[in-house]
Chains A and B, each alone.
Chain A
């Protein structure tokens, strides 16, 4: 029997346990990953069914996606909303993280608890509250309203990611820049920002993904005109599931994989810089 990371003095029983652990963990990892990719082959199925085996493959559902104005409009709405959300959330979140990283920040625990609470509060409550208040200001069924609501949900991700990067940042660098005559803004732009940039970009990618994937607030806050891609998918699945949804799911899966690879690459780079 192989060593499986066990010390040489391990007994048979321990080896069996270790083997069971490896087998079990393999199954759980398969449970985690396999369901994600089930939609990929189905989106290339020429027949409008959602079951296996697949007889002929084609791109017809992707053609359908890209030629259907409703799906294209939803895609465009999602991208525009997510881009605006990312810009605002990254700016506000990075500023807050910079303040929180300073040793003299007052009531840090309470402020941090408040800043990350949008990740905790059930999304339906946020959606209903936003609908009530934004309706009062005439912001429901507008893209502005959706961007504002999404920014509140996305900002905590930026705060957390940038804070994690700042925890390894040496504040002496800023002080050195200041002592050499840099203004606070110049010290941030020329010294701090380049060092923490991977964290800021990772936070921005999180913010983009948060807005791009968000369904519930978008369901409450949008009419047909501002309908986003996830809302279009949600109503599609609920009413009459059709194969174009599989194509949309495959495209979203490709996008999230790309975002994930970006963040993984950034954090690997950040680790390299640190050591």
Chain B
């Protein structure tokens, strides 16, 4: 007995029928990936989303000055606010002084108007003793409380979300009247740090390509036994702990280290050079660490190029250089793209190596994220820098997915 087959005159219906018949099997395949997808959602995607949220989160003013922020709704924005606002301000500050939350508010306002930290703390200390009329009392205490710019800032900071950290990460700031202007010159550092990060990553990428391409080519030419020894030399560093490799570079680059020994022995310099805590040291160590990542994709593409192509070019009269550059090299381009992009992406996120081998001017964006969290305790700015780094990285990852594809990623 044969099943009834749909006739060829109904291709659309057939298509739909096939899809429908396959749906349970398709669902079964997908369900195998669900546990890992859910796991990554909780332990990877949600943490990154919460980082995004932290970059625009603005809880300080709202939570310390709830009544003031509510009273400011009625304030038109010109001149000092009326007595109702100041009365609410006095109540809020008195509560802040007893709950010791004034310092957090002062720190937040200090990001917008330098010098506000101590003024908020002083005002909070006297909030318990000031008497009505509050407006006159606060302005007498410190004329800054008569300044509409301060109140406009408090009103704006009273919103649940703030663009100020993201703006700061792009060297911009918002003035009291809402206009976006460049940040003061002494705070305009973040575009420079982003530029430095891109520069170091780009330099490391170019160096690994220049050093790695001939290695991949030699790997494709070498007889099997030699090729496996070469492969060992490429894979062993990849397996070695990143920290061990960085430790090795710390030791190598010291003033009394081996690199300086060699430089002296070769007579390249008459005295020992400062190599550790420099850009040279950072780039050398990063190039060493990234080199296998660049070589492997190029080598795997070269393995698929038949040797007959070069022979054919030569037999048709091409000189060796022309045969290489016009016939062989263009075919290796997908590998060069894959290796270069993967190294560039990974180099953007370096943290450990610049921290241990680099100097103050070699710290990359990841190092600043860590500094803003661990020493400055400015989570908003750290998260905003994280957003910048993530957007740049994902943009290049998008290019990688487009030209290379996620399923082409192999490990050795």
A interface residue numbers (CB < 8 A to B): 5, 7, 9-11, 13-14, 17, 21-22, 24-25, 28-29, 31-33, 35-36, 38-39, 42, 49-52, 88, 92-93, 95-96, 98-100, 102, 104-106, 108-109, 111-126, 128-134, 136, 148-149, 151-152, 155, 157, 159-161, 163-164, 206, 209, 212-213, 215-216, 220, 230, 233-234, 237-238, 241, 245-246, 249, 252-253, 256-257, 259-260, 263-264, 267
Contact = CB atoms under 8 A, between A and B. Distances in A.
A42 B36 contact: no
Closest 9 CB pairs of A and B: A122-B349, A129-B47, A99-B32, A124-B366, A51-B256, A260-B239, A102-B29, A92-B36, A112-B406
B351 A123 contact: yes
Contacts of A38: 248, 251-252, 258
A100 B320 CA distance: 44
B36 A104 contact: no
B51 A128 contact: yes
A113 B401 CA distance: 7
B261 A52 contact: yes
Nearest to B222: A5
A130 B320 contact: no
B218 interface: yes
Given A102-B29, A155-B36, A216 B411 contact: no
B43 A35 contact: no
B355 A238 contact: yes
A241 B243 CA distance: 13
A93 B36 contact: yes
Given A35-B252, A128-B386, A260-B239, A121 B393 contact: yes
A24 B320 CA distance: 19
A113 B404 CA distance: 11
Interface stretch (B74-82, B94-102, B179-187, B229-237): B229-237
A212 B241 contact: yes
A36 B33 contact: no
Contact of B383 (A100, A128, A245): A128
Given A36-B248, A52-B258, A115-B36, A31 B239 contact: no
A54 to B, nearest CB: 12
Nearest to B32: A99
Q: Most A CB atoms within 10 A — which of B36, B370, B382?
A: B36
A28 to B, nearest CB: 5
Contacts of A263: 239, 412
B250 A237 contact: yes
Interface residues on B, range: 35 or more
B18 to A, nearest CB: 11
B132 interface: no
Interface stretch (B112-120, B167-175, B209-217, B326-334): B209-217
Contacts of B359: none
Given A38-B251, A215-B352, A245-B247, A104 B409 contact: no
Nearest to A184: B28
A134 B407 CA distance: 31
Nearest to B352: A215
Interface in B395-412: 397, 401, 405-407, 409-412
Interface of A is mostly: helix
Contacts of A119: 409
21 contacts: A5-B222, A7-B311, A21-B214, A24-B214, A36-B236, A96-B33, A111-B37, A120-B394, A122-B349, A124-B349, A124-B366, A129-B44, A155-B36, A160-B409, A160-B411, A249-B243, A252-B243, A253-B241, A256-B244, A257-B239, A257-B240
B26 interface: yes
Interface of B: 22, 25-26, 29-33, 35-37, 39-40, 43-44, 46-51, 54, 211-212, 214-215, 217-218, 221-223, 230, 232-237, 239-252, 254, 256-258, 261, 288, 291-292, 311, 314, 320, 345-346, 348-349, 351-352, 355-356, 366, 369-370, 373, 379, 382-383, 386, 389-390, 393-394, 397, 401, 405-407, 409-412
B369 to A, nearest CB: 5
A17 B32 CA distance: 53
Contacts of B373: 128, 131, 220
Given A96-B33, A151-B43, 6 more contacts: A29-B233, A32-B233, A36-B240, A157-B411, A215-B352, A249-B247
Q: Most A CB atoms within 10 A — which of B211, B247, B373, B389?
A: B247
Given A29-B230, A151-B39, A36 B386 contact: no
A21 B217 contact: yes
Contact of B390 (A122, A132, A241): A122
Contacts of B348: 122
Given A122-B390, A249-B244, A132 B54 contact: yes
Nearest to B315: A9
Q: Most B CB atoms within 10 A — which of A35, A114, A161, A215?
A: A35
B214 A36 contact: no
Contacts of A49: 256
A258 B352 CA distance: 24
Given A33-B236, A35-B249, A260-B236, A234 B243 contact: yes
A25 B215 contact: yes
Contacts of A259: 239
Contacts of A99: 29-33
A155 B31 CA distance: 17
A96 B218 contact: no
Contacts of A246: 247, 251
B247 A161 contact: no
Given A38-B252, A92-B36, A155-B40, A122 B247 contact: no
Given A95-B36, A105-B26, A253 B244 contact: yes
A6 to B, nearest CB: 9
Q: Most B CB atoms within 10 A — which of A10, A36, A125, A260?
A: A125
B320 A10 contact: yes
